[in-house]
Amino acid sequence: QVQLVESGGGLVQAGGSLRLSCAASERTFGRYAMGWFRQAPGKERESVAAITWNGGTTIYADSVKGRFTTSKDNAKNTVYLQMNSLKPEDTAVYYCAAAVRWPGTLYAGRVDAYDYWGQGTQVTVSS
């Protein structure tokens, strides 16, 4: 059972930056593909970014392309989401998730492609 713990959320002004971290308990973390999702009040959970087990492939939602970057440090069992040029519409609870198998670029944004989830961290962007 993989346990995921997100950190780094908070309150930031529009145009600012935050870096989210997601630490995994499992020593085999390096084998997992990882995804980042977010959920705003009253909305469905949506994909933000995903990365393969070795970091060789990353995908991003159109709404965050050019502003967000995900990376994976297998030696530290941690995946990161660097968020720049934040907008009020980025306000949400952000979740990281782990997939035993990379679902492919076509399906990496699906919630049901992931096996383990963190508890989420709140990101609030003020205008």
Average pLDDT over residues 58-81: 96
The answer to whether 35 touches 99, Cβ cutoff 8 Å, is yes
Locate the DSSP E strands across 1-127. Answer: 4-7, 10-13, 18-24, 33-39, 46-51, 58-60, 68-73, 78-83, 92-99, 116-117, 121-126
Among candidate residues 17, 7, 109, the one with its CA nearest the CA of residue 57: 109
The answer to whether 27 touches 77, Cβ cutoff 8 Å, is yes
Q: What is residue 71's predicted lDDT score, i.e. its pLDDT?
A: 97
What is the C-alpha to C-alpha distance for residues 104 and 6, in angstroms, rounded to an integer? 24
pLDDT band at 30 (very low <50, low <70, confident <90, very high): confident
Q: What is residue 62's predicted lDDT score, i.e. its pLDDT?
A: 97
Q: What is residue 26's predicted lDDT score, i.e. its pLDDT?
A: 79
Given the structure tokens 């990379």, which residue do they identify?
102
Q: What is residue 22's predicted lDDT score, i.e. its pLDDT?
A: 97
Task: Give long-range contacts, CB 8 A cutoff, 24+ apart: 68-73.
Answer: 70/34, 70/36, 72/34
Q: What is residue 29's predicted lDDT score, i.e. its pLDDT?
A: 82
In sequence order, the β-bridge partners of residue 95 are: 37
Q: Which two tokens stand for residue 74?
A: 């297998």
Q: What is residue 1's predicted lDDT score, i.e. its pLDDT?
A: 81
Average pLDDT over residues 8-30: 93
Q: Which amino acid is at 7?
A: S
Among candidate residues 89, 90, 28, the one with its CA nearest the CA of residue 81: 90
